[in-house]
Amino acid sequence: MKYKLPFRGLSLEIENKLLEYMYNKALDAFPNEVGGMLAGRYENKNSAIVESIVMPKEIPGGHNEFIRNTEGLEELWAELKNEGIEYLGEWHTHPNGSSHYSRADLHAMNEIVRDEYVSILNPILLILSLDRTRIRGHNVYLYDSSRLLMFQKGYE
């Protein structure tokens, strides 16, 4: 699927098989939140492609909380970097909730940008909304100067 932030001239692409992967992880973890990291590359300064989903080795959290965990992923990130793939952002679920970001989500993105091991100023955040039987929807955001800007879906 393709996304755009027209007023910023930015585009993003996430392969449908990766969305399906996240959907399956979300439904398997229900009613708990689950998530991971988005990895890919920038084709140019205005266009990014998510090429891989990086899942934590352990997923702490619960019904209303996803705790980001990067422990034990150093070797995997080194391999991805050798392939030209880099960290682009995060994804997580809101079981029985909305695909809109919360204050906690915005706070988490602020923390990620301040993290000395993260070298990206504008990470992406994808949030999946689901219930027990289906994915209800998702939104994708770009973090920019302590704000989350929502991408528009469905562009070719």
| 110-133 tens-digit pLDDT | 999 998 888 888 999 999 999 999
Q: Please indicate whether residue 67 or residue 15 has the higher confidence score (pLDDT).
A: 15
Say which CATH number the domain at 87 has: 3.40.140.10
What is the residue range of 83's domain?
2-153
Binned at pLDDT 50, 70 and 90, residue 88 comes out as very high
Q: What is the percent of the chain where pLDDT is above 90? A: 74
Per-residue confidence (pLDDT) for residue 118, from 0 to 100:
82
8 Å CB contact between 130 and 93: yes
Mean pLDDT score, 89-108: 95
- The span from the first CA to the last CA of the chain, in angstroms, equals 8
Amino acid at 11: S
Mean pLDDT score, 103-110: 94
Q: φ and ψ at 31, to 5 degrees?
A: -95, 10
- Work out how many domains the chain is built from and give that number: 1
Mean pLDDT score, 44-63: 82
